[in-house]
Amino acid sequence: AVAAAESQIGVPYVWAAESPGHGFDCSGLTAWAWGQAGVSLPHYSGAQYEDSAPVPVSDMEPGDLLFYGPGGSEHVAMYVGSGEMIEAPETGQTVHITAVRLGYGFVGVGRP
């Protein structure tokens, strides 16, 4: 799942999109990437939060999902290791790797 997500670095953010090489929103990226690993996830961060097993931050492993907003409803990113995550953050940006954010409405980590 991590390798699939990383293959999309530089692809633009497009709301509600799940289109490799063309555009992704946050949950589209995580759903598509996990789909490449044979795991089906819904295309909505809140539903991904509900479908994931909670994991303590201290036990995060590459591929785990980081959720933001009430019930994980506002944003999802994927942990890639070494304190970094990959995300499709918002209009005008592209899929990229950045430092893990534990503020900004962070609500938890889930393992698909």
75 in active site:
yes
Q: Catalytic pick from 61, 74, 75, 84?
A: 75
43 in active site:
no
Cβ atoms within 10 A of the Cβ of 91, count?
9
Q: Catalytic pick from 18, 84, 87, 90?
A: 87
Q: Catalytic pick from 26, 74, 84, 90?
A: 26
What is the CB-side half-sphere exposure of residue 79 using CA atoms within 13 A?
24
State the catalytic residues: 26, 75, 87
